[in-house]
Amino acid sequence: MCKGKNCFVISCHVMWREICYFASLSENIHNIRFLRQGLHNTPDLLRKELQEAIDEVDGQYPYILIGYGLCCNGIVGIKAQKSTLVIMRGHDCITFFLGSKERYKEYFDKHPGTYWYTPGWIETSLQPGKERYEKILNEYIEKYGEDNAEYLMEMEQGWLKEYNNAAYVDQGFLDSTKYKEYTKECAKWLGWNYDELTGSTQLIKDFLNGDWDEERFLIVKPGETIAASNDDNIIKADP
């Protein structure tokens, strides 16, 4: 438990609504920095920018809260010399939105071809769908010509074959109507199933409020390094 503390939060920008809203309701005082969305696609770059952000405030706050999951091992090797790091045990931010790593695993095991949609994801990047396709196609046409663009689009869209399910997570603290409709339109255009899940805000609240149990959160002492545990705990702290 950590109440009434001044904490620094470093988070992916896809969580900006949730972090800002629930930080405003917390007993703790939070200074917040959001890193740009998409860093998980280049884990080495995520590691570099996250470590630089930590180094800038290390020692100025007793706790630095890391709003990421393991994120393709992008947080492996992260450390602080003077502050304590706190990070939730999860593979990525979807754990935050669903409320637990167990719920995330249960759904993923039943629906392995799922692409997730949330307000933050929709607002900070173009999600799979007609809008994204047309934007990228027009960029390719402008750069490479129409014939080459069609070929490049076939290559670019190849990764979508791994997915068949668009899942929107509704956490209930804002009007999600337009985000749900957007996700439905994307799913229809892609020929995917549309699913809607009721999310949970409890994990985010506890993350910001200082209710850190070992089952859900990793506490990394000064000088320790974040590592992948390769088990159900997902992450661990190495000396």
Q: What is the DSSP secondary-structure string of the chain? A: ---S-EEEEEEEGGGHHHHHHHHHTSSSEEEEEEEPTTGGGSHHHHHHHHHHHHHHHBTTBSEEEEE---TTTTTTT-B-SSSEEEEESSSSTHHHHHS-HHHHHHHHHH-TTEEEE-HHHHHHSPPTTHHHHHHHHHHHHHHH-HHHHHHHHHHHGGGGGG--EEEEEE-SSS--HHHHHHHHHHHHHHT-EEEEEE---HHHHHHHHT---TTTEEEE-TT-EEEE-SSTT-EEEE-
Between these two residues, 187 and 149, which has the higher pLDDT value? Answer: 187
Average pLDDT over residues 235-239: 97
Question: What is the pLDDT averaged over residues 67-91?
Answer: 97
Give CA–CA dist 123/197, Å, rounded: 19
**Predicted confidence (pLDDT) at residue 1 exceeds the cutoff of 90:** no
> In the prediction, which pLDDT does 75 show?
98
Quote the pLDDT of residue 4.
62
Read off the pLDDT of residues 209-227 as tens digits, 9 standing for 90 and up.
Answer: 999 999 999 999 999 999 9
pLDDT at position 134 is 93
56-60 mean pLDDT: 97
Domain boundaries defined on the chain:
6-94+201-238, 97-198
157 pLDDT above the threshold of 90:
no
> What does the pLDDT read at residue 239?
93
- When pLDDT is cut at 50, 70 and 90, the band that residue 57 belongs to is very high
Higher pLDDT, 1 or 18: 18
The pTM assigned to this predicted structure is: 0.91
